[in-house]
Amino acid sequence: MAVEDNTREIEATIVTDLRERMTYGSYLGLETLLQSQHPRSSPEHHDELLFIIQHQTTELWLKLVLHELDDARRLLVADDLGSALKRIARVKHIQEVLTQQWSVLATLTPTEYAQFRGALANASGFQSAQYRQVEFALGNKHERMLKVFESSPDDHAALAAELERPSLYDEFLRLLARRGHPVPAEVLERDVRKAHVFHEPLVEVFTAIYERAGEPGAGARQGDEDWRAYEACEELVDLEDNFQLWRFRHLRTVTRTIGMKTGTGGSSGTDFLRRALDLTFFPELYAVRTRIGA
């Protein structure tokens, strides 16, 4: 039945006296959050707010990604693979949001961006400490990257700690070894401060897991070790695929906005981003696809 004045009555049980009570705004810290956008262009350009919010929301999502990856590794160490996969599944959904978000920034035309780009000075996404922590957590480690954050002690310390910590892949391989899979000792004992590099014997380990999971009736045995390991492998592949899609959308958005210009942080711009597409976190999980059925 239509309401004559097109309004909805406030239910009597709804709390309206919020004095000295926890509120939506106070719980979320909105007073601080919504006052944290400070355009630098003068006169202020209309589209700079879009640019700032796009990157601030990305940083919030990255904070949650790190929170989930941190706990996923803790759970792998505790041999709780099922709960770790739940954390990874959440990261995958966050990645989808982050990738879709590029379409909003892509509405910024080259002419619009050029009118306030100078206000960024040397500020660049290359300097995102949280993004680097995510890359380190997934195994793409580069010790020289710490130099970028020497002027920010907290960021430098967080990234240094991540450099010293085993990656998600390291912890997964250690779990497989504890469960009887023949993961080579040199992989388990490697220097975790270095980026993981392709190791041929691991392909044999994953080939066995995939082939046993593909046997008739294996799908009905979802509680067995091989099936769980197989499921985890596919979750990690999803994670990397999503990361690569994010990288690609980043590249395409930058290309359509600034073309071949150098980055504000001093990088070569699109060429630098394009080379990132060659980096991989879990190379053996892709190599196994060539091996299976060959």
Residue list, annotated binding site for substrate:
51-55, 113, 117, 264
Sign of CA dihedral 118, 109, 107, 98: negative
Sign of CA dihedral 265, 266, 268, 273: negative
| Residue whose C-alpha is closest to residue 162's, from 140, 190, 136, 138 | 136
Residue type, 282: F
Query: What CA–CA distance (Å, rounded) separates 146 from 265?
Result: 15
Other residues' Cβ atoms within 10 Å of the Cβ of residue 205: 21
| Residue whose C-alpha is closest to residue 182's, from 145, 155, 209, 161 | 209
Q: Which residue has the tokens 């940083």?
A: 59
Residue type, 99: T
The greatest distance separating any two alpha carbons of the chain, rounded to the nearest whole angstrom, comes to 75
Report how far apart, in Å, the C-alpha atoms of 55 and of each of 22, 164, 226, 257 are.
29, 27, 41, 15
> Could you tell me which residues are annotated as the binding site?
51-55, 113, 117, 250, 264
Q: Which residue has the tokens 């993961």?
A: 183
Q: Are 124 and 264 in contact (CB under 8 A)?
A: yes
> Could you tell me which residues are annotated as the binding site for heme?
250
Q: Are 122 and 151 in contact (CB under 8 A)?
A: no
Torsion angle of C-alpha atoms 152, 157, 158, 159, degrees rounded to 10: 90
Exposed (0-12), middle (13-18) or buried (19+): which is 121, by Cβ within 10 Å?
exposed
